Structure 1
C-alpha cells in the first residue's frame, strides 16, 4: 500500500504539560481538526484512549459525507501524544505530536504517516496536510488565549 509522511513544526506559547493535556482529550479534537464534527464512544484503558470521530467532507458546497474514523490515542508523559487512525476505504494514519520545551512555550512537531490504497493517497494526503496546517493555528489560538 502506498504511503507518505507529512511533518509540520510550530511553537505554542503554553507549557508542554498544557499542550499534552489538551491533545490527550478526545473532545478537544472537534474543531481542532477542521473536518472533525463529533467525537463519541470514548473508552479509556490503562495505556490507550479509543474513540470514534466523525469527519465531515463537503463537496460542491452542498453535498456532504460523514466519515466515521476509529482513533487510538496514547500519551508519553508530557513529551508526546501519538496513535493511529483507521478510516473506511483503507486509509490508515499514524500520528505523533512531539512536544519539546521552547522558552516559555512548546515546540510541537506534528507528524502524520499515511497509508492508502493506490489512487487514494494523493487525495488523503492533500486533506491531511490541510488539516495539519490548520491544526497548528487552531491549537495555538486555543492555548494562547
Structure 2
C-alpha cells in the first residue's frame, strides 16, 4: 500500500520527527504508548502499545518495532504477537517548499482473514497519518 502526500516542512524535520518512537503515539490512531526503547548504533527497537476495542472490550496489543533512518528515509518492521508483520518506509523528498512523503506499507499474516483485517486497519492508519503529520509539522 502506498500513499503520497505533501508536508510544508523540511525533509530533515520530518526525518527527525519520524525517527523518534514517541512521535508514533497518536501518529497512528491505534498507538497509545511506547515503552522499552533501546537505541543501537543503526536502529532503535521498542514496544508500541496498540489499543483495540472489540465489542466494547479494550485490548492492548504489544508490538515489537524496529526503526531505522537515513537522511531520505525512515523505515522499519513491526511484529505483532498475533502473527501480523508489517514493513514500512517513509521516503522523504524535498519538493515545493516542503517535503513529499511517500508512505509505503507491506502487510504479512499467516491466515487470509487476518491479513484482510490487518491490511484494512493498516490502510486506515496510513491515510490518517498523512493528516496527523501535516497538522503536526505542516
TM-score, shorter chain, exceeding 0.5: yes
Deviation above 3 Å: which 4+ runs of structure 1? none
Per-residue deviation, 1:59: 2.2
Rounded Cα–Cα distance in structure 2 between residues aligned with 1:33 and 1:22: 14
Q: Does 1:129 align with 2:110?
A: no
Q: Which residue of 2 aligns with 1:66?
A: 60
Q: Which residue of 2 aligns with 1:3?
A: none
1:140 match: 134
Instruction: Please state how far the C-alpha of 1:53 moved relative to its aligned partner.
Output: 0.4
CA distance in 2, matches of 1:44, 1:100: 25
**The one of 104, 117, 130 aligned to 1:111:** 104
Alignment partner of 1:7 out of 2, 16, 20: 2
Structure 2 length-normalised TM: 0.97
Unpaired segments ≥5 residues, structure 2: none
Q: Distance in 2 between matches of 1:89 and 1:67?
A: 9
Q: For this pair of structures, how many residues does the alignment match?
A: 137
1:97 to 90, 95, 105: 90
Matches within 5 A, 1:47-58: 47-58=42-53
* Aligned Cα root-mean-square deviation (Å): 0.7
Gaps in structure 1 of 5+ consecutive residues? 1-5
> Which one of 31, 37, 42 corresponds to residue 36 of structure 1?
31
